[in-house]
Amino acid sequence: MFLDIRVTVCIFLCLSSQIMQAARCPTDELSLTNCAVINEKETQFEQHVTVRNLTHKYVFTLKKHPSVNSGAIAFSLPQRKWAGLSIGQEVEVTHYKFDRSKQCISTLTMEIDFLQKKSVDSNPYDSDQMAREFIQQFNNQAFSAGQQLVFSFCDKLFSLLIKDIEAMDPSILKGEGTPGKKPKIEIGLLLANSQVIFEKSETSSLTLVGKAKTRESRQSIISPDWNFEKMGIGGLDREFSDIFRRAFASRVFPPDIVEQMGCKHVKGILLYGPPGCGKTLMARQIGKMLKAREPKIVNGPEILNKYVGESEANIRKLFADAEDEQKRLGPNSGLHIIIFDEIDAICKQRGSMAGSTGVHDTVVNQLLSKIDGVEQLNNILVIGMTNRPDLIDEALLRPGRLEVKMEIGLPDEKGRIQILHIHTAKMRQHNLLASDVDVKELAVDTKNYSGAELEGLVRAAQSTAMNRHIKASNTVEVNIETAERLQVSRLDFMASLANDIKPAFGTNQEDYASYIMNGIIRWGDPVSVINFVKDICFHRFSSSGPPNSGKTALAAKIAEDSQFPFIKICSPDKMIGHSEIAKCQAIKKIFEDAYKSQLSCVVVDDIERLLDYVPIGPRFSNLVLQALLVLLKKPPPKGRKLLIIGTTSRKDVLQEMEMLDAFSTTIHIPNISRGEQLMEALELLGSFQDIERASIAKAVKGKNLWIGIKKLLMLIEMSVQMDPGYRVSKFLSLLKDEGA
Other beta carbons within 10 angstroms of residue 468's beta carbon come to 13
Give start and end residues of each alpha helix (H) in 424-469.
425-429, 439-445, 451-467
Other beta carbons within 10 angstroms of residue 18's beta carbon come to 18
User: Which is the catalytic residue, given 552, 557, 583, 651?
Assistant: 552
Our answer to whether residue 200 is catalytic in this structure is: no
Separation CA 668–CA 688 (nearest Å): 29
Separation CA 105–CA 166 (nearest Å): 6
Other beta carbons within 10 angstroms of residue 163's beta carbon come to 14
User: Which is the catalytic residue, given 264, 471, 589, 633?
Assistant: 633
DSSP letter string, 498-557: HHT---TTSB-HHHHHGGGTT-----SGGGGHHHHHTT-SSEEEEEE-STTSSHHHHHHH
User: Which is the catalytic residue, given 200, 606, 647, 651?
Assistant: 606
Instruction: Give the torsion sign (CA, 372, 377, 381, 387).
Output: negative
User: Which is the catalytic residue, given 256, 583, 605, 647?
Assistant: 605
Separation CA 415–CA 228 (nearest Å): 12
Our answer to whether residue 710 is catalytic in this structure is: yes
Our answer to whether residue 475 is catalytic in this structure is: no
CA 376 to chain centre: 24
Our answer to whether residue 552 is catalytic in this structure is: yes
User: Which is the catalytic residue, given 63, 200, 213, 551?
Assistant: 551
Separation CA 199–CA 109 (nearest Å): 7
CA dihedral 613, 619, 624, 627 (to 10 degrees): 110
Measure Cα distances from 379 to 293, 402, 729 in Å. Answer: 12, 15, 87
**SS3 helix, strand, coil % of the chain, rounded to 5?**
40, 20, 35
DSSP letter string, 264-333: ----EEEEE-STTSSHHHHHHHHHHHBTSPPPEEEEHHHH--SSTTHHHHHHHHHHHHHHHHHHHHGGGP
**DSSP label at 37?**
E
Are 106 and 167 a contacting pair, CB within 8 Å?
yes
Our answer to whether residue 118 is catalytic in this structure is: no
Separation CA 66–CA 514 (nearest Å): 109
Our answer to whether residue 606 is catalytic in this structure is: yes
User: Which is the catalytic residue, given 405, 502, 710, 730?
Assistant: 710
Separation CA 384–CA 392 (nearest Å): 10
Give me the active site residues, please: 551-552, 605-606, 633, 710
